[in-house]
Amino acid sequence: MRLRAFIFFIFAGLILGPTGPTLAAPPARAAKTPTPSPTAQSPVPLDYEFESLKKEAVAGDAEAQFVISQQLMVWNLETVKDPAKKKENFLEALQWLRRSADQEYPRAMTALGEIYEYGSKKYSTVFGISDKGVNIPRDKAEARRWYQKAADLKELEAMIKLATFCATGVAGPKDPVAAQKLIQMARDKAVSQNNKDILPSLAEIYEKGHIVPKDLAMAIKLYDQAAKLGSFEAKAKYDEMRAKGQPRP
């Protein structure tokens, strides 16, 4: 499930405004992704599937570690009310996320980069908890390092994040050519994979002329593809562009 209501990620995810942190959605894992069923007695439901997944995480499975980290954060948003428990979950989520990123799991590296980009205080605000004892300062250089590592493995969200950093010279050299190349590579991969979650973001980049030259024909083409894959966001943008006279792709 992608969390856009607040709005990881994430990875898809949780976003604070157009440039805020993303809580990436856990990747699909056949018969392994937990389906929480909260009860009054158990504010954080640790069902059998979750416990099974956690065993994999403890055994060193990087994907399981990432899914565990995201699930704990999802529970913090949707279920847990007690601030102390929220903080406990958040700290545990960070530990699992770091372990997954250290094994170079691409989505975990992107999510960790976002935490460094915005700092733990921003996430503490999201969850309504004190950041005392968490204390991950904003570190754009560290964020860029993790985005670079994930982008090297062709992780789509990391490629877009890194392109933004390169285009504006954040925490490193300004390189518009490299930024445009990253967006083109991300576009080609998203198109070939029919990635309805990433396509609207890329379409907006082309529509607004951010990072790459403005290209309305490409923008509406990407919106159209995402809309046909079921993206309501892309359908609304496609209809808006058509209403303004943009030809069909």
Q: What is the pLDDT of residues 206-226, one digit of tens each?
A: 999 989 999 999 999 999 999
Task: List the domain boundaries for the chain.
Answer: 1-138, 153-249
| pLDDT mean across residues, the chain | 80
Higher pLDDT, 206 or 3: 206
pLDDT at 183 over 90: yes
pLDDT band with cut points at 50, 70 and 90 for residue 180: very high
b (16+ CB within 10 A) / e for 182-207: bbeebbebbbeeebbbbbbbbbbbbb
Contacts of 32 (CB under 8 A, 6+ apart): 49, 52, 53, 56, 64, 67
Q: What is the DSSP letter of 112?
A: H
Q: What is the pLDDT of residues 60-94, one digit of tens each?
A: 999 999 999 988 888 877 788 888 888 888 888 88
pLDDT band with cut points at 50, 70 and 90 for residue 47: low
pLDDT band with cut points at 50, 70 and 90 for residue 125: confident
The token pair at 233 is 């966001």
- The amino acid at residue 7 is I
The token pair at 53 is 């997944």
CATH superfamily of 153-249: Tetratricopeptide repeat domain (1.25.40.10)
pLDDT at 120 over 60: yes
